[in-house]
Amino acid sequence: MNSREASARHAPRTAVTILAAGALLLAPASAQRTEPLPEELEGVGITEHLDETLPLDVRFVDDEGREVVLAEYFDGKRPVLMTVGYYRCPMLCNLVLNGAVEALSGLAWSAGDEFQMVTVSISPDETPGLAKFKKQNYLAAYGRRTAEDGWHFLTGPQESIDALTAGIGFRYRALENGREFAHPAVIFVLTPDGRVARYLYGLKHDSETVRLSLVEASDGKVGTTIDRVMLFCFHYDATVGAYAPAAMNLMRAGGALTVLLLAVSLAILWRRDARRTKTAAAAGSAR
């Protein structure tokens, strides 16, 4: 087979990979459920397992060739952002990681400081050497000093991949050649103790949405008091993939502010009236 024929046969598989992102994740959730999918994408998607704990005892190999347990990346203090794909992916995985880097570059926080980042391959044939090559490319794009120890690229056997993907609800499908996969495009936001806190779908993510997701996942352990107040007034809207104002919370916050202002005003009036009474009493005594 010459190179032109190989490229022609390779093109449909690449197109299917792109379709996995478009058809499953960039359309509204209602359309994802009702519109028929190509045969190659049957069974591909996300089953949300919010607040469920990952299988933290599964073993992988990191980009330095060291055998690791998933639990090593959950220290009970910092949230974790996870992406799942494969390093030889011709397009979609690169777009997911590029989108993640773009969003993270807009944050003052860095992987390795306020949060951890983990990228896992779903291809059991991929090697730690390939993972390291991929890591070096994305560390260069990210450009944060602490990311060397804060962004981990993992490979592993099929049983570990199956355990992890089942735990996070990541459903994918191998294509005909067994080396490429149809899969969804999503970033998993995980709590410091290894529970699923949020799914961020698609290829582009607003930096503020990622930041608030990390604050929410950490239960306020990262971020400021203002960030926690913002989470009270905003809720995550999965239909648009961002945090939107929460009407009830805003009303409650507005009511609380009104009560506070009223209490302050009454206190000022009370103190002013008390001073006047005291002054009048003192004047009467002087006469």
Full pLDDT tens readout for the chain, 287 residues? 443 444 444 444 444 444 444 444 444 343 445 556 677 678 889 999 999 999 999 999 999 999 999 999 999 999 999 999 999 999 899 999 999 999 999 999 999 999 999 999 999 999 999 999 999 999 999 999 999 999 999 999 999 999 999 999 999 999 877 789 999 999 999 999 999 999 999 898 989 889 989 988 988 544 444 444 444 444 445 555 554 554 344 344 444 445 445 555 556 666 766 666 666 555 566 55
Same domain, 222 and 280: no
Decide if 133 contacts 121 (C-beta within 8 A).
no
Domain extent for 153: 3-245
Same domain, 23 and 145: yes
**Nearest alpha carbon to residue 172 among 70, 46, 82, 56:** 46
Query: What is the CATH classification number for the domain harbouring 111?
Result: 3.40.30.10
Same domain, 267 and 281: yes
List CB contacts of 134: < 8 A, sequence separation 6 or more: 63, 87, 119, 153
Same domain, 210 and 279: no
Same domain, 206 and 263: no
List CB contacts of 145: < 8 A, sequence separation 6 or more: 110
Same domain, 29 and 143: yes
Same domain, 126 and 211: yes
Strands (E), the chain: 45-46, 59-61, 67-69, 80-85, 116-121, 151-154, 170-171, 173-174, 181-182, 186-190, 196-201, 234-237, 242-245
Count the Cβ atoms, other than its own, within 10 Å of residue 4.
Answer: 8
| DSSP assigned state of 37 | P
Question: Number of structural domains, the chain?
Answer: 2
Same domain, 31 and 167: yes
Decide if 94 contacts 203 (C-beta within 8 A).
no
Same domain, 32 and 95: yes
pTM of the entire structure?
Answer: 0.71
Distance (Å, rounded) from C-alpha 107 to C-alpha 98?
15
Distance (Å, rounded) from C-alpha 249 to C-alpha 234?
8
List CB contacts of 44: < 8 A, sequence separation 6 or more: 20, 24, 37, 171, 172, 173, 182, 183, 184
Same domain, 71 and 159: yes
DSSP string, 47-100: ---TTPBP-TT-EEE-TTS-EEEGGGG--SSS-EEEEEE-TT-SSHHHHHHHHH
Same domain, 204 and 221: yes
Strands 186-190 and 80-85: antiparallel
Same domain, 143 and 112: yes
